Structure formats: C-alpha cells, structure tokens
Amino acid sequence: MWGGARAMGVASAVFAATVTAGAQRGTTTASKSGPAVACAAELGTGLKTKRQFCDIVISKDTSRSINITLPPHKGAATLTFDLHNRFGSPEAGTPPDKVYARHVAVVAVVAPSGTVVSRLVVEGEFRGMASVFDRIGGGSGPGGAKAIAPGPLEPIHVTIPSALSSVGIVGVKLTVTSLRGTDTFDSPGLPVAIASNFKVEYTPK
C-alpha cells in the first residue's frame, strides 16, 4: 500500500498548448505548455511569487490529491514541476532550538490505474521563516499569510509513457525529526508535501 484518501473540492487551471513555428510548417517539434491541473487541496497563491500551490495528499485516488491531464501528444512526454516540503509556522516567541524540524516526504507520480510512474523524495530542514520559499495568502498570519508554507523548491522531471493521457501526484509518507524524536506518518488524507509550477513538454499529435 502506498496511500489512502482525502476528499476536498477540485479546482482546475487549464492553459492553452503552444505550437512552435516549426510544427506549423509540418516539422515535428517539441512544445511546452501548462497541463490541465486539478488540485483537490489547493493552498492558494504565493504572496511573493504569485504561484499557485497545491497540497500533495496521501491517496490512491488521484482526484483526491493532484490530477494532471496532458495535451494530446505523440510518444513520451516530460512533466516538470517544483516539489516543496510542507512546513508549518511556529507560534510567535517559540525558542529557535524548538523550531527545528527535518522533513522527508515521499510522493509518487501514478497512472490512472494506480501504477507508479515515478517515486520522488523531497527533504528539507526548517529552522525558521528564512527556511521557506514563499508565504501563501489567505490566512491570519503576518501580512495575511497562512500558517503553512512551502520549503525550498526541488525541480522535478518525470518521463510520462506515451500511452498515458493523465497522471496523478499522491503522497506516500512523511517522516519528521524534531527535538521530540522521529515520527512517520502514512495515514490516508494526510498532506505531506506541496507542488507548484506545473509544465509539460511533448510532441503534438
């Protein structure tokens, strides 16, 4: 077993595919675009980067985490996105030595059948708000930020087999080490990491 489930509303963002001048002339040329992304647990927009951030949730059902539909393509496609640890902001006045936490999140890119296309790991250390990549708007924290924030980005490149028109990104488990010790979490519905900046490179049909 590599996951469970968490049901939330689905938000989709669809971007038009771009076709290069070479492709218009009949030459087979790779194109890049944003795929259609449905985030069951959308976190919101970065205050600094203006990116959309999505939670990656432990789930066998990709519709309950992140589901990605690829543009029509020939041959294999390449999915790219940024993977982040999911850090929580400490309460004001928390001593620095009690803030530290090391997160190791395991996630998987899966086919609709549940077959694992790629298994990924993102690892990071939280030592304070200087350890985050961005703050997410829509919360009650300083500047209207949420208590959850993405850690530094880990660029991901995954080759998607030609037979697949969609894939999902789901959580597998999260291991957190702090002053209290080490805990591993793998319960269905648990958010374990954050994803952003989805793109796909492909050869149009």
pLDDT per residue over 177-192, tens digit each?
998 899 999 999 999 9
Give the mean model confidence (pLDDT) for residues 2-10.
33
2 falls within a domain: no
Nearest to 38, CA basis, from 20, 55, 24, 58: 55
65 falls within a domain: yes
Please state the domain count of the chain. 1
Our measurement of the distance from residue 180's CA atom to the centroid of its chain's CA atoms, rounded to an integer in Å, reads 27
198 falls within a domain: yes
Is the pLDDT reported for residue 93 higher than 80? no
Beta bridge partners of 202: 31
Our measurement of the distance from residue 194's CA atom to the centroid of its chain's CA atoms, rounded to an integer in Å, reads 4
3 falls within a domain: no
69 falls within a domain: yes
C-beta neighbour count of 199 within 10 angstroms? 15
77 falls within a domain: yes
6 falls within a domain: no
4 falls within a domain: no
Which residues form the domain of 150?
A: 11-204
Question: pTM for this structure?
Answer: 0.83
pLDDT of residue 98: 85
pLDDT per residue over 77-88, tens digit each?
999 999 999 999
